[in-house]
Structure 1
């Protein structure tokens, strides 16, 4: 019985290791003879448990990575309204990036009345949170049992960009239809005005000739106006190429005066050169039209880990706080002769590159110590790998 006892002890030790979660050990094969089928079954069980544990670990790692990088705010609470888990997006939304696991969710949302009421009454749907970077959010709430206790999962998805994109696409579609109809009308009008001017000159009718001149001039002006909108509506997808920064800055300075602050980017950044130049020209044009002195208009590039920030700043006094978001809406302009597509085109170009544009008023001291206020526009472009 002694050899059989050694086999049983070896298999018992292997089983205890499995029970303790150690799946990388096995029974001493030299001590196994009569009970080899049982030992083989335990070996197969160990291999399967090792594989399943590795797979489970990889899934947990993937889930954690998704939650940590997701723009959607996630909050898990128990039935006492205590926060058990949240991701960085939720921290940024509610506490400016501070951790709040273990806090009461009810107290964390007091400064956001609409969100507070929606979570309190478990009301799902769209919310407008004006004091956040993304204004429009969708709240969804799930209830489930975990460890035989009631839990709540709150998901807040930012929808501002999606809504703006759909709104922009709708405007572009409308522009294409209107532009087509106007072009069909302007072409014969211009031709008739030209023919009428020739007939008036032949009949020596100077007053009538001047009338046709005015008509032709207004047709040409309207055609330019329409073409500008059509160009905006048909913005092609960006063709990414390596940016030649010295050439780009020289092109911009040929059109507008500004101060280049800091150094030019040293890493290889890729974007559509023509679209990027158009974006920056629009921003510099707005800066000069704000009434700012040229000495207070500046451009700065900042290289981040995986994105590039381009800042254009002026000293024109800024924009009223309630108009900061409206200036990005198509056709809205605070200028009497403005078309309302300049900043919208800038936003369209930035988002076509996968980036974003933000506007903010600022006040700072200049080199002489005087206070200067104006508008600061930051364009953020992600790092693009060329294909």
Structure 2
């Protein structure tokens, strides 16, 4: 047999405050009426007085509890605002009396949540700024290799600067095959990519859980400049050691050659004197050669000041002939005048030694709000791909009498200023671009 249905009376705790007050007044009225009919004779006037009194009591209780109900409504509204994420509101303290301690607690909580949200927003803004301006390419994908987030460096490296969020990672058409294989295999380590400004990259892959779902984070950090800088520092250290040893040998050897020449002259031995003169001359030439490398190895930090462009151009044209195209910069730029002059002289020297006619050598200076471009063009026919690839490597030269430190010194000076140097074949010759960032006197 099915169980019989049970009927429950509503609990008083489930009733509203007004309903409970009305129930209490009704109960009092019933008790008074029961007492009247039990101990006193039925009197309509007394019954009416009891009913009117109970109604008046109910109205008085409702009126007495109205301020408290208003306080509760204000606190409920404040709590709802907190639940909705609005932390800039608070309970009206002018209307809160009985529940002031609760109102103060809610206001304190609101202020704390407001401060924490502002801190969190600032951290998110800082993180987004770092990601957007970082040279490291960042990719975030889900378990199905759908790209959820990418920064500008990743878009430039993988898809020519175009956004591809929401696409499948391995469906991106602009990705180089070597990079696609490394990402697909999640091969962490160094990767060499051609046809990019930075040829050496380091790939790191991380797996983590986000919202109970698997995600993959790919980081591609450019290492070409760091490797070149370490390579250059190693060469400089080697040069300082070799230069020190050669100087220790050349100094006494040159002194002995001079003394031997004096002795041969006293003995009127021309052949022996010529031999010592030859030794002395070779020691002097070798000393100049060593000093040039030592000077390169001991390039001091740039002492930046405002560049006087007319004076710089005049100094360059006093040494080499070239055509200045366009106008000189009209704003102040900070750099080391001596090092910048040495850099441009080396580039002009190479342009003239390339076989270019002087009238085909030109210099253009472009300025943007954040960087300066010095573009030197010659008409010497350019470089072969092999020479162009190794032109900035220390001691590499294609000239019979070259030292291989001219362009390396130019790169060292540019990087010491926080800039860079790049070479490319641009008919009728080679185009060299020196990029220098804007620096303020406060940052120097």
**TM-score interval for Structure 1 and Structure 2 normalised by the shorter chain:** over 0.9
- Give the Cα–Cα distance (whole angstroms) in 2 for the partners of residues 69 and 110 of structure 1: 21
Number of the residue aligned with 1:382: 437
- Distance, in Å, in 1 between the alignment partners of 2:123 and 2:393 is 42
Q: Distance in 1 between matches of 2:174 and 2:186?
A: 15
Bigger mean CA deviation after superposition, 121-130 or 110-119: 110-119
1:110 Cα shift?
Answer: 6.9
- Distance in 2 (alpha carbons) for counterparts of 1:7 and 1:298: 81
SS at match of 1:17: helix
Q: Which moved more, 1:114-123 or 1:221-230?
A: 114-123
CA distance in 2, matches of 1:259, 1:320: 25
- 1: distance between equivalents of 2:374 and 2:160? 24
Q: Which structure has more helix as a fraction of its residues?
A: 2
- Map of 1:52 onto structure 2: 116
1:178 is aligned to 2:242: yes
Check the 8 A contact 1:361/1:374 in 2, yes or no: yes
Residue 222 of structure 1 aligns with which residue?
Answer: 286
Deviation at 1:297, TM superposition (A): 0.6
State the distance in 2 between where 1:234 and 1:29 align. 71
Instruction: Note the alpha carbon deviations across 1:196-234, whole angstroms, 9 max, x for none.
Output: 223333333333322222222211111111110000011
> What per-residue deviation string (whole Å, max 9, x for no partner) do you get for residues 254-305 of structure 1?
1000001111111111111111100000000000000011111111111112
| Post-superposition offset of 1:120 | 1.0
State the TM-score, normalizing by the size of structure 1. 0.95
> Higher Cα Rg: structure 1 or 2?
2
Partner residue of 2:266 out of 189, 199, 202: 202
Offset at residue 43 of structure 1 (A)? 1.0
From the superposition, tell whether residues 19 and 111 of structure 1 become closer, same or farther in structure 2 (CA, over 3 Å).
Answer: closer
- Larger relative contact order (CA 8 Å, sep ≥ 6): 1
Q: Could you tell me which residue of structure 2 aligns to residue 74 of structure 1?
A: 138
- Contact between 1:232 and 1:341, CA under 8 Å: does it hold in 2? yes
The equivalences for 1:156-167 within 5 A come to 156-167=220-231
Query: Mind listing any 5+ residue stretches in structure 1 that lack a counterpart?
Result: 364-372
Out of 422, 425, 431, the position equivalent to 1:361 is 425
2:201 counterpart SS class: strand
Distance 2:168 2:387 in 1: 36
Find the residue that maps to 1:328 and give its secondary structure. coil
Aligned to 1:340: 404
Output one character per residue of 1:128-165: Cα deviation in whole Å (capped at 9) or x when no partner: 11221011111111101111111111001111111111
Instruction: State whether structure 2 residue 195 is matched by structure 1 residue 131.
Output: yes
How far residue 176 of structure 1 moved from its aligned partner, in angstroms, is 0.6
Q: Distance in 2 between matches of 1:8 and 1:178?
A: 86
**Which deviates more from structure 2 when the two are superposed, residues 341-350 or residues 206-215?**
206-215
Cα deviation per residue 1:28-58 (whole Å; 9 max; x = unaligned)?
Answer: 3333222221111111111111111111111
Answer yes or no: is the 8 Å Cα contact 1:109–1:115 preserved in 2.
no
More moved, 109-118 vs 265-274: 109-118
1:110–1:116 Cα contact (<8 Å) kept = no
Query: 1:30 and 1:252 mapped to 2: Cα distance?
Result: 78
**Unaligned segments of structure 2, at least 5 residues:** 1-64
Whole-angstrom distance in 2 between the partners of 1:218 and 1:184: 16
C-alpha separation in 2, matches of 1:329 and 1:274: 23
Q: How far apart in 2 are the matches of 1:248 and 1:43?
A: 65
Cα RMSD between the aligned structures? 1.4
- Please point out which of 255, 264, 288 is paired with 2:319: 255
Counterparts in 2 of 1:1-387, with a 5 A limit? 1-108=65-172, 111-363=175-427, 373-386=428-441, 387=444
Q: Deviations over 1:299-319 (max 9, x none)?
A: 111111211111111111111
SS state at 2:145 partner: coil
Query: Is the 8 Å Cα contact of residues 85 and 101 (structure 1) preserved in structure 2?
Result: yes
SS in 1 for 2:391: helix
